[in-house]
């Protein structure tokens, strides 16, 4: 029997601790009890605990105020809520297990095939829901600003999107969750609980390599290309509509100005749409920055297994998922920072002293003013 340090827990849980070195029989690859105890990583646990508590409150408050106030239930806000639901799934289900895994130094209490499949698949689905919601938001902004399918009222794509907004929102959200389930389906099929832990996939096999590449393509590369392309078109459209006087009489400018006759409404409408486009752009950039370390780790771990003996890779692996967990907390914060409407409504709905008759009248005026502005800015 030959003993060698190996990151056994990296094979047990995709996002587990990789520093519990285990004695391995090189002939049978049987893992025995750890012979080098790992110290509890209190900084990581503290960060995850703060992110979980604050993230649940922030995401929950934003979902609450959108669902409570009918004038906020627009297409982009419903998609924002769906994005926050994806964050909540991660914060409520996955982060507690990661904290418990850290506290117990790899001896997780996840037991049974169901919990093994559920915990791993839910993390993959939550990441998919976030990125696909961002893709849907980008496309929705593209339809609102560039609107290439509604020229002269001849089309049905974006026109039906507006006329059947309730049904369209439901279909979009259903499509997001179905696609997320499809990406996580291989884990639901392959994951199983064994004596020494939850084996969500057989690492370093052709199956694992194919699945990791599939995930990288469907949850990072393709969404990244789509979002970047759409935002470039949006930016060019807005710049052209603002700077080029020839565009004022074009079909594009008519879609931005309602019907092309009310130029005095042009500036507020463009400012509003630019603001929402900025929100989507910031959230998208944050997602891809946060998701990049985990994507790199997943690919390297499968295709270059010798890296598991590198201390620098171990350190990188341990912290690679932290940016994504922090992102789940920062998404609603960015919404509150970039949207004065959400900030005002948060104070009115969640501040108990603000529920006096005086503040209720302010809330009603805010609701009526917001509704009237939306009606005035709708294209004829």
Instruction: Provide the residue count of the chain.
Output: 380
Question: How far apart are the C-alpha atoms of 200 and 121, rounded to whole Å?
Answer: 9
Quick check: 210 pLDDT over 80? yes
Higher pLDDT, 194 or 379: 194
Q: Is residue 245 part of a domain?
A: yes
Q: Is residue 102 part of a domain?
A: yes
Q: Is residue 103 part of a domain?
A: yes
Res 242: pLDDT: 64
Q: Give the helix/strand (H/E) hosting 253.
A: helix 251-256
Res 368: pLDDT: 59
Q: What is the mean pLDDT of residues 174-195?
A: 90
Higher pLDDT, 195 or 21: 195
Give how many domains the chain has, as a whole number. 1
User: Collapsing DSSP states into helix, strand and coil, what is residue 331?
Assistant: helix
Question: How far apart are the C-alpha atoms of 24 and 309, rounded to whole Å?
Answer: 13
**Mean pLDDT, the chain, integer:** 74
Higher pLDDT, 251 or 176: 176
Res 214: pLDDT: 95
Confidence of residue 24 (pLDDT cuts 50, 70, 90): very low
Beta bridge partners of 34: 22
Confidence of residue 367 (pLDDT cuts 50, 70, 90): low
Give yes or no for a contact between 328 and 91, defined as CB atoms under 8 angstroms apart: yes
Q: What is the mean pLDDT of residues 179-204?
A: 85
DSSP state for residue 156 in the 8-state scheme? S
Alpha helices (H) in 304-356, listed in sequence order: 311-319, 322-338, 340-350
Query: What's the token pair of residue 330?
Result: 């920062």
Question: Which span out of 26-35, 259-268, 313-322 was modeled with the highest average pLDDT?
Answer: 313-322
Res 282: pLDDT: 87
Q: Is residue 322 part of a domain?
A: yes
Q: Is residue 1 part of a domain?
A: no
Give yes or no for a contact between 20 and 105, defined as CB atoms under 8 angstroms apart: yes
pTM (predicted TM-score) = 0.75
**Domain region containing 283:** 6-377
Q: What is the mean pLDDT of residues 295-304?
A: 89
CA-to-CA separations, 163 to 143, 224, 254, in angstroms, rounded: 13, 29, 18
> What CATH code is carried by the domain that includes residue 40?
1.20.1070.10
Q: What is the mean pLDDT of residues 97-103?
A: 83
Higher pLDDT, 129 or 375: 129
Res 174: pLDDT: 93
Quick check: 154 pLDDT over 80? no
Please report the beta strands in 173-262, taking only residues with DSSP state E, as ranges in sequence order. Answer: 192-194, 197-199
Query: What's the token pair of residue 60?
Result: 């929950």
């Amino acid at each position: 029997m030959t003993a060698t340090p190996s990151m056994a827990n990296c094979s047990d849980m995709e996002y587990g601790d990789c520093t519990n070195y285990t004695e391995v029989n090189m002939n049978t690859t049987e893992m025995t009890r750890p012979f080098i105890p790992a110290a509890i990583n209190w900084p990581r646990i503290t960060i995850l605990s703060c992110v979980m508590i604050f993230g649940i409150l922030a995401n929950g408050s934003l979902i609450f105020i959108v669902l409570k106030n009918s004038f906020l239930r627009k297409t982009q806000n419903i998609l924002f809520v769906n994005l926050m639901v994806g964050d909540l799934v991660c914060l409520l289900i996955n982060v507690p297990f990661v904290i418990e895994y850290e506290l117990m130094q790899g001896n997780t209490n996840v037991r049974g095939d169901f919990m093994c499949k559920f915990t791993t698949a839910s993390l993959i689905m939550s990441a998919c829901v976030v990125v696909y919601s961002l893709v849907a938001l980008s496309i929705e902004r593209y339809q609102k600003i560039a609107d290439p399918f509604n020229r002269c009222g001849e089309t049905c794509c974006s026109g039906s999107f507006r006329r059947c907004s309730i049904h369209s929102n439901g279909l979009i959200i259903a499509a997001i969750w179905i696609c997320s389930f499809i990406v996580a389906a291989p884990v639901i099929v392959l994951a199983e609980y064994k004596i020494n832990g939850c084996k969500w996939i057989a690492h370093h096999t052709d199956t694992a390599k194919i699945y990791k590449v599939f995930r990288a393509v469907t949850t990072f590369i393709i969404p990244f290309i789509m979002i970047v392309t759409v935002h470039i078109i949006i930016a060019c459209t807005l710049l052209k509509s603002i700077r080029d006087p020839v565009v004022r009489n074009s079909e594009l400018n008519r879609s931005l100005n309602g019907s092309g006759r009310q130029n005095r409404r042009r500036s507020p409408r463009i400012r509003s749409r630019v603001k929402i486009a900025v929100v989507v752009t910031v959230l998208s950039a944050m997602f891809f920055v946060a998701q990049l370390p985990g994507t790199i780790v997943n690919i390297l771990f499968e295709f270059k297994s010798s890296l598991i003996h590198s201390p620098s890779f171990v350190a990188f692996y341990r912290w690679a998922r932290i940016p994504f967990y922090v992102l789940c907390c920062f998404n609603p914060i960015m919404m509150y920072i970039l949207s004065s409407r959400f900030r005002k409504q948060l104070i009115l709905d969640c501040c108990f002293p603000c529920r006096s008759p005086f503040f209720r009248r302010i809330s009603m005026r805010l609701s009526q003013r917001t509704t009237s502005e939306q009606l005035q800015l709708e294209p004829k």
